[in-house]
Structure 1
C-alpha cells in the first residue's frame, strides 16, 4: 500500500504540473515476468497473429494497412493468454494512486484501456503535439472551454525498460496555449517549454490527458511501456466516451472475461459494460474527428 503522505505529494505534483512520476508500481520481482509477456505479445503482433495494433504513420484509430507498428492494443484480451497483464492492471497500489489522483473512491472507478507502446522496427515515427480531447485548431475561447471540462479519468505509462519517448509542457493542462505554443502546435515546429518525462524501468508517469504532450518512437531503443487508463465518470456523464470507446473493448463484455478479473476489478468492469450497452449502435467518433 502507498502511504498517505506519498499520496498527498503525488496529488499536489499532479495538480500543479499535470503529471507525476511514481516509483515501484512495477515491483522488481514482476519486471522480468512482465517483460517476457510483453515480448511474447509484441512478437505475435509483429508476425500478424494479433491484429489489434497501432500502425506507424497514423496517430489515432482506426488502424489498418499494417506495415510497421508502434503499439499493441488490448493486451488483457484472453486470446493473448497473458494473465499477468490483467493481474497488474488490478494491483491495489495502482488503483490506490489512480483513485487519489482522480479524487475519487475505489467504488467510483471504471475499468478502461490497457495497451502497450513499443519501438517500431524500421522507421522513426513521431506523433504530433496534442491534447487528447481538444483539437489543435481550437480557438483560445474553445480551448479554454474544453479545458474546464472534467473528464474524470487518469492516464499512465509504466516503463518496463528505461523510456524517454514522452514529452510534455508542464502546467499546460490548466491553461490555453501561448501564441508561440499554438504556432508550434499547428506548424510542427520546435515546442517551447517542453520537457522529457524520462522514466526508469519500473517507474510510472500519470498524466492529465489534456496536457500538451507528444510521443517519439525510434527503432534503436527497445520500448515496452504499458499504457492505459482508469475512469471515474459519474452516472450519466459521457464525456470520456469518444476517447475510450474508439478502442474496441467488446472483449470486456464476455462473461468469461469477467470471471477472470479480480474482485476489485469486477465492479469497475461492470461500470464499463453498462456504459458500452448505452452506446450500442451509436457512433461515438474517433479522436481525429475532433
Structure 2
C-alpha cells in the first residue's frame, strides 16, 4: 500500500512524541540501501569489533552515496517531514546520517535516556531546558530497512519533566543500564527485555521494512538489540541551522566542563 499522509501524523507527533510514515520507502530504494548497508555493517565491525552497531557519518566512509542521496531527495518523504515539522527541516545530510545494526555475538541494550540530558556528560542542563520543547531542536529518525522493533519509548514524555515514578526508577546520573556482564546469551536477552519493561508506561515501537519513524529524542527512549534479528536502520535527524549550532556549542562546552571535572548533571537533584 502506498504511503498516504494524514493529519494523524501531525497529531501523534505533537501528542505522543513520535509518528511513523508507513512504507514510505519504495521497494527499489530499500533494495539499493540494503545492498550498500551490508557493506557498511562489515566496515563497522572491522572498525569497532563484533558488537559494533553503528557507522556514522556516512560521509566518512567509502560507500556508494547515491542510495543515501535518493533517500534524502525522496519527494514523498521531504513533503511529509515539511508538514509535520517545517520546510526548513532537512534530513539525509551525509555529514550526520548513520546506520544502526544488530550486534554480531550478544544481546545488548542502551540505558533509558532523553538525548543530550542523560547521555552527554558535562552538558549544563539549562542549555537543554531552554530549548527542549522547541520544534527546531531534538528531532530524530529511525528508518528501517528490515523489520525493527528495537526502540522503546514513553509516549508523551517529550511534553513534560520526569514524573515521580520515573524519578523513583532512575534517581541517579548516569542512568545505569541493564546488568549483563557474565550472563549467557539467553540471560542477556531476558535481562535487557526486563530492563526495557521496567520503565513505567513504556511501549515498543514496531517498524516494517520501509517505515520511517520520526520522534522527539527528548522523550524517554531506549534501544534493545539481539544478534538473531538482522537490522539496518538509517539513523538521522532533520536538522535546522539552530540545532546545528546547538550541537556544536554543546559539544564544545561539554568537553571543557569535563576537563574541568564536571560530570553529568542530575535533573532530579
Which residue is equivalent to 1:41? Answer: 40
Contact 2:21 2:211 in 1 (8 A): yes
Equivalent position to 1:119, from 99, 102, 109: 102
Stretches of structure 2 that go unaligned for 5 or more consecutive residues are: 177-194
Q: Which structure is richer in relative contact order (CA contacts within 8 A, separation 6 or more)?
A: 2
Q: Which residue of structure 1 lines up, in the alignment, with residue 208 of structure 2?
A: 200
TM-score norm. by structure 1 comes to: 0.68
What RMSD, in angstroms, separates the aligned Cα atoms of the two structures? 3.4
Residue 72 of structure 2 is matched in structure 1 by 89
Moved more, 220-229 or 166-175: 220-229
SS at match of 1:79: coil
Is residue 53–residue 100 contact of structure 2 (8 Å, CA) maintained in 1?
yes
Q: Partners of 1:31 and 1:109 in 2: how far apart? A: 20
Number of equivalences: 231
Paired with 2:162 and 2:237, the residues of 1 have a C-alpha distance of 25
Q: CA contact under 8 A between 1:109 and 1:231: conserved in structure 2? A: yes
Map 1:144-183; keep pairs closer than 5 Å: 147-183=132-168
Q: CA deviation at 1:221?
A: 0.9
Q: 1:87 to 1:142 in 2, by over 3 A?
A: closer
> Which residue does the alignment assign to 2:245?
238
* Corresponding position: 1:24 with 2:23: yes
Aligned twin of 2:187: none
Q: CA deviation at 1:76?
A: 4.3
Change (3 A) 1:146 1:94: same
Q: Aligned to 2:226, which of 212, 215, 218?
A: 218
CA offset at residue 105 of structure 1?
2.2
Q: What is the alpha-carbon distance in structure 1 between the residues aligned to residue 113 and residue 229 of structure 2?
A: 23
Aligned CA distance change for structure 1 residues 157 and 237 (closer, same or farther; 3 Å): closer
Label 1:69 to 1:115 Cα distance change in 2 as closer, same or farther (>3 A).
Answer: same
Corresponding residue SS for 1:239 = helix
Q: Distance in 2 between matches of 1:143 and 1:181?
A: 19
Structure 1 residues 76, 98: closer, same or farther in 2, change over 3 A?
Answer: farther
Matched, 1:75 2:58: yes
For structure 1, which runs of at least 5 residues remain unmatched after alignment?
56-65, 247-282
For the structure 1 residues 33 and 144, does the alpha-carbon distance in structure 2 shift closer, same or farther, using more than 3 Å as the test? Answer: closer
Q: CA deviation at 1:146?
A: 5.7
CA shift in 2, pair 1:161/1:148, >3 Å: closer
Tell me what 2:169 maps to.
184
Distance in 2 (CA, whole Å) between partners of 1:179 and 1:162 is 34
Contact 2:114/2:220 (<8 A) preserved: yes
Give 1:33 deviation, angstroms.
1.9
Judging changes above 3 Å, is the alpha-carbon distance between structure 1 residues 30 and 238 closer, same or farther for their aligned structure 2 residues?
A: closer
